[in-house]
Amino acid sequence: MTDIATYNFAYLDEQTKRMIRRAILKGIAIPGYQVPFASREMPMPYGWGTGGVQVTASIIGPDDVLKVIDQGADDTTNAVSIRAFFKKVAKVAVTTETAKATIIQTRHRIPEHPLNAGQVLVFQVPIPEPLRFLEPRETETRKMHALEEYGLMHVKLYEDIARHGRIATTYAYPVKVEGRYVMDPSPTPKFDNPKMHRSPALQLFGAGREKRIYAVPPFTDVVSLDFEDHPFEVQTFDQPCALCAAENVYLDEVILDDHGGHMFVCSDTDHCEKRRADPSSPLSEGRAEGAGGGDLAASPATPSPALRAAPPHDGEGKEAR
Amino acid sequence: MTDEPLLRVSELSKFYGSRVGCEAISFDLWPGEVLAVVGESGSGKTTLLNCLSTRLLPSSGTASYRMRDGQWRELYRMSEAERRFLMRTDWGFVHQNPADGLRMTVSAGANVGERLMAVGDRHYGRIRATAVDWLSRVEIDEDRIDDEPRAFSGGMRQRLQIARNLVTGPRLVFMDEPTGGLDVSVQARLLDLLRGLVTDLGLAAIVVTHDLAVARLLSQRMMVMKDGRVVESGLTDRVLDDPRAPYTQLLVSSILQV
């Protein structure tokens, strides 16, 4: 009690939470529109999820169950720290199970387990402006959003096809929300874009450094931009997950040693662990054969956090264009 | 030519504080006509061009434009969205410095295709075919289509800028010193190209230039400006061969003879 008494519930003061909730409500009312808000200093550096944390802090209540993922994993630095933060300042229950969580704060992934009505997905967003690298002037991009001038977004996709023969954008793939605003879905892989379309869960996006909040209400159309003769497609993987043999999920490449050993495993750790723990799943046996070689048998069942994801940092390796 | 003008300008003035940008400019522009605006630097040519293209709002006066459907619209009463739409479909603007009119970090093909995508074309193959066609019309090799304009020479950049503007089949093109900063042989080719395109497409154009030779080659009609006012206007050949205003006489006699 002694240390919690020094904090307001969920860290932020009530006026700030009120201000952020107003921004969230406005964002929900205008799907995909970037609402400016007075982003606060948080006890973490920009680029580590200050926007997402402020959104979560403003919507969380004592009865909520929080899950935090980073690149799909519950056990990476960013996810562990943010979970610990809310455990401390809001005393909420935390979980790693997607289905049990009421609020899921995420960096760069949408969980594989389908989300339900009543759940809230909070995204950490480094750069909310999808037009940023095409038009550096914020005054101009706002005007372009206002006037629905989105030809430029297709110029980027055109460039991709001209250079690579296909749309090579694999993450932060621009989407059009409810037929109006073009939105950056945060640097999630484009694999997750279809999950945003008409999702029953509320999706909130917070960009702390850029001071923007935007939202996709439940059951909203989210359509990935494309060309008629180069339609949008998601990534596919040649092999199933090396641990749980899941197919049609997003996989991370994990380096195992210094000799070129590597394996592809589910990026969603909760999904992977669930599948392996489920005794009724026929896949749990198949795994032993699938994992095969001595290298893999010697390696830990779950790769260590250090291997799973690069530490979060500013800019998130956006193409410098 | 039809019996109705394309653009009607009446008593257009632009003041920068108490300083005069341009004052009391009136003229009509007919479809397919090229009007040259000449004068020394600081005479208000570019201010006038920027006002007409709605990049600047004038202090007073009106300008009406006949839309494709035959409706007359007053330019300064249109909403910004309508003006910007007009700007990227029915109009073109060729800047003196191509870097101002091009996107220097995207390929030539995308530069040409941008307007098409802006008006809703979503078919990559079609956009690219149009870009190839336009590049050949402005004499840029097809194999440069994926190069950035940064890798182009000054003359090529200017031709690319012209292609980018003409791809949507505009009816009116504004040009601000289109041959400025180019050496004479490149200038000659560009002028030749422009003249061909203007005639083929039946474009109306307003060309601002301080180069009387450019005006003579491109335009049918000409306005001479000094200190923000029009001092003389008329058919280009008449103005240049028989200048009446003292300032025009000075201007014409200032041309260096080689």
Tens of pLDDT, residue by residue over A77-123, are 999 999 999 999 999 999 999 999 999 999 999 999 999 999 999 99
Asked if B143 reaches chain A (Cβ–Cβ under 8 Å), the answer is no
Task: Report CB contact under 8 Å: A155, B125.
Answer: no
Residues in chain B: 258
Task: Report CB contact under 8 Å: A161, B124.
Answer: yes
Cα A185 to Cα A114, A174, A223, B87, B138: the distances in Å are 18, 7, 11, 31, 40
Lookup result for tokens 């504080």: B17
Nearest CA in chain A to B144: A162
Q: Token pair for residue B73? A: 């619209």
Lowest mean pLDDT among A55-69, B197-211, B229-243: B197-211
Task: Report CB contact under 8 Å: A155, B124.
Answer: no
Nearest CA in chain B to A148: B81
Interval B210-229 mean pLDDT? 92
Nearest to A158 among B80, B117, B119 (CB): B117
Q: Is B204 within 8 Å of B29 (Cβ atoms)?
A: yes
Q: Is A299 helix (H, G, I), strand (E, B) or coil?
A: coil
The predicted pLDDT at position A2 comes to 53
Residue from A152, A120, A122 nearest A137 by CA:
A152
Task: Report CB contact under 8 Å: A159, B128.
Answer: no
The predicted pLDDT at position B181 comes to 77
pLDDT at A308 > cutoff 80:
no
Task: Report CB contact under 8 Å: B105, A155.
Answer: no
Write out chain A residues lying below 8 Å of B124, CB-based: 158, 161, 227-230
A190-204, A236-250, A283-297: which has the highest mean pLDDT? A190-204
The predicted pLDDT at position B2 comes to 61
Asked if B150 reaches chain A (Cβ–Cβ under 8 Å), the answer is no
A261 phi and psi, to 5 degrees? -70, 135
Interval A177-201 mean pLDDT? 96
The predicted pLDDT at position A3 comes to 54
Write out chain B residues lying below 8 Å of A158, CB-based: 109-110, 113, 117, 124, 127
pTM, two decimals, is 0.82
Nearest to B105 among A162, A230, A321 (CB): A321
The predicted pLDDT at position A306 comes to 43
**For chain B, what is the mean pLDDT?**
91
The full 3-state SS of chain B, as one line of letters, equals CCCCCCEEEEEEEEEECCEEEEEEEEEEECCCCEEEEECCCCCCHHHHHHHHCCCCCCCEEEEEEECCCCCEEEHHHCCHHHHHHHHHHCEEEECCCHHHHCCCCCCHHHHHHHHHHHCCCCCHHHHHHHHHHHHHHCCCCHHHCCCCHHHCCHHHHHHHHHHHHHCCCCCEEEEECCCCCCCHHHHHHHHHHHHHHHHHHCCEEEEECCCHHHHHHHCCEEEEEECCEEEEEEEHHHHHHCCCCHHHHHHHHCCCCC
Write out chain B residues lying below 8 Å of A228, CB-based: 122-124
- Alpha-carbon gap, residue B203 to B4, rounded angstroms: 15
- Alpha-carbon gap, residue A192 to B17, rounded angstroms: 55
pLDDT at A300 > cutoff 70:
no
Q: Token pair for residue A161? A: 């096809």
Asked if B79 reaches chain A (Cβ–Cβ under 8 Å), the answer is no
B37: left (phi over 0), alpha (psi -120 to 50) or beta: beta
Q: Is A157 within 8 Å of B113 (Cβ atoms)?
A: no
The predicted pLDDT at position B255 comes to 80
Q: Token pair for residue A187? A: 């640097």
Q: Is B219 within 8 Å of B173 (Cβ atoms)?
A: no
The predicted pLDDT at position A249 comes to 94
Lowest mean pLDDT among A306-315, B162-171, B203-212: A306-315
Nearest to A162 among B103, B110, B114 (CB): B110
Q: Is A183 within 8 Å of A145 (Cβ atoms)?
A: no
pLDDT at A284 > cutoff 60:
no
DSSP secondary structure code for residue A68 in this structure: E
> What would the pLDDT profile of A127-167 be if each residue is shown by its tens digit?
999 999 888 899 999 999 999 999 899 999 999 999 999 99
Give the ipTM: 0.85
To the nearest whole Å, the CA of B81 is away from the closest chain A CA by 6
Q: Is B109 within 8 Å of A158 (Cβ atoms)?
A: yes
- Alpha-carbon gap, residue B188 to A175, rounded angstroms: 46
Q: Token pair for residue A275? A: 């599948």
- Alpha-carbon gap, residue A106 to A225, rounded angstroms: 23
Write out chain A residues lying below 8 Å of B123, CB-based: 227-229
pLDDT at A279 > cutoff 90:
no
Instruction: Give A32's pLDDT tier (boundaries 50, 70, 90).
Output: very high
Among all residues of A, which ones are annotated catalytic? 32, 241, 244, 266, 272
The predicted pLDDT at position B232 comes to 94
> What would the pLDDT profile of A227-237 be if each residue is shown by its tens digit?
999 999 999 99
How many other C-beta atoms lie within 10 A of the C-beta of residue B60? Answer: 12
Interval A170-192 mean pLDDT? 95
The predicted pLDDT at position A301 comes to 46
The predicted pLDDT at position A167 comes to 92
Higher pLDDT, B194 or A314: B194
Instruction: Give A314's pLDDT tier (boundaries 50, 70, 90).
Output: very low
pLDDT at A29 > cutoff 90:
yes
Q: What percent of chain B has pLDDT over 70?
A: 99
Write out chain B residues lying below 8 Å of A321, CB-based: 105
Write out chain A residues lying below 8 Å of B110, CB-based: 155, 158-159, 162
Q: Is A123 within 8 Å of A71 (Cβ atoms)?
A: no
The predicted pLDDT at position A282 comes to 56
Task: Report CB contact under 8 Å: B107, A152.
Answer: no
Asked if B114 reaches chain A (Cβ–Cβ under 8 Å), the answer is yes
Write out chain A residues lying below 8 Å of B146, CB-based: 162-163
Task: Report CB contact under 8 Å: B122, A230.
Answer: no
- Alpha-carbon gap, residue A72 to A76, rounded angstroms: 9
Contacting residues for B172 by C-beta, under 8 A, at least 6 apart: B6, B7, B29, B65, B90, B91, B92, B203, B204, B205, B206
pLDDT at A310 > cutoff 80:
no
Task: Report CB contact under 8 Å: A147, B115.
Answer: no
Lookup result for tokens 């080659």: B217
- Counting one residue from A and one from B, how many pairs have CB atoms under 8 Å apart? 55
Task: Report CB contact under 8 Å: B80, A155.
Answer: no
**For chain A, what is the mean pLDDT?**
87
pLDDT at A274 > cutoff 70:
yes
Burial of A258 (0-12, 13-18, 19+ CB in 10 A): exposed
Nearest CA in chain B to A164: B146
Task: Report CB contact under 8 Å: A155, B113.
Answer: yes
- Residue among B106, B115, B116, B135 with most chain A CBs within 10 A, to mutate: B106
pLDDT at A4 > cutoff 90:
no
Task: Report CB contact under 8 Å: B114, A152.
Answer: yes
Write out chain A residues lying below 8 Å of B122, CB-based: 154, 226-228
> What would the pLDDT profile of B143-200 be if each residue is shown by its tens digit?
999 999 999 998 899 999 999 999 998 999 999 998 887 888 888 888 888 888 888 8
A269 phi and psi, to 5 degrees? -65, -40
> What would the pLDDT profile of B53-63 be if each residue is shown by its tens digit?
999 999 999 99
**Rg (alpha carbons) of chain A, rounded to whole number:** 20
- Alpha-carbon gap, residue B202 to B223, rounded angstroms: 21
